[in-house]
Amino acid sequence: MIEAYAIQKDSFRIVNAELFWEQCRSLAPGQYSVKVEKKRKKKSNAQLAWLYGQIYPHVLRGLIDVGYDEFTNLDQIDAKCKEMFARQEIINKHTGEIMSIPALKREMTTIEFSTYVQVIREWASDYLGVTIPDPETNLTMNL
C-alpha cells in the first residue's frame, strides 16, 4: 500500500510528492484504485485513559450503588455506555426498518469522543448521583 498526505489550501499539494510518484512508478503493471479522504483527528490515548481510568470506574460504582450488582467489570460498562450513548442507526433500504448498533470508539474523532464522554458524565450525575472529575484530576479508585 502506498500512502501520501496532502494539503488543500489555495491548491491541492501532495506532501513529498516526488517520493509518492516514485513509489507509484515502482508498482507492477495492473489496475489500481486511488482514494482521497479528509484526514480526521482521532481521539487521544489520554482521552481513552480518562475514560477507562476514571469515567467507567465511577459509572460502575454508581450502578452498583443504585442496585445494579450484576455489573462487575469495565467491559460491561463500556458495552452499556456504547449501547446507550453511541448508537449508530442502520436503515434497511427495502423495508425501512431501523436497526441500532454501537459505534466504534476507535473511529471516533476527538470531538465525537469528547461529546460521548460528556453525555456519560451528565447521565452519571443525573441518574446515578455520581460526579466524575475533570481529566486533569488524578484520582485512584479502589474497586
Model confidence pLDDT, tens digit, residues 97-126: 998 887 888 888 888 899 999 999 999 999
Residue 38 domain-assigned (yes or no): no
Residue 121 domain-assigned (yes or no): yes
Residue 4 domain-assigned (yes or no): no
For residue 53, pLDDT over 70 is answered with yes
Residue 134 domain-assigned (yes or no): no
Residue 25 domain-assigned (yes or no): no
Residue 87 domain-assigned (yes or no): yes
Residues spanned by the domain of 60: 45-128
For residue 138, pLDDT over 70 is answered with no
For residue 139, pLDDT over 60 is answered with no
**Residue 110 Cα distances to 76, 94, 114, 129, angstroms:** 23, 34, 6, 27
Residue 3 domain-assigned (yes or no): no
At residue 77's C-alpha, the angle toward residues 108 and 131, to 5°, is 90
To which H or E segment does residue 117 belong?
helix 110-123
The total number of structural domains in the chain stands at 1
Residue 22 domain-assigned (yes or no): no
> What's this model's pTM, rounded to 2 decimal places?
0.65
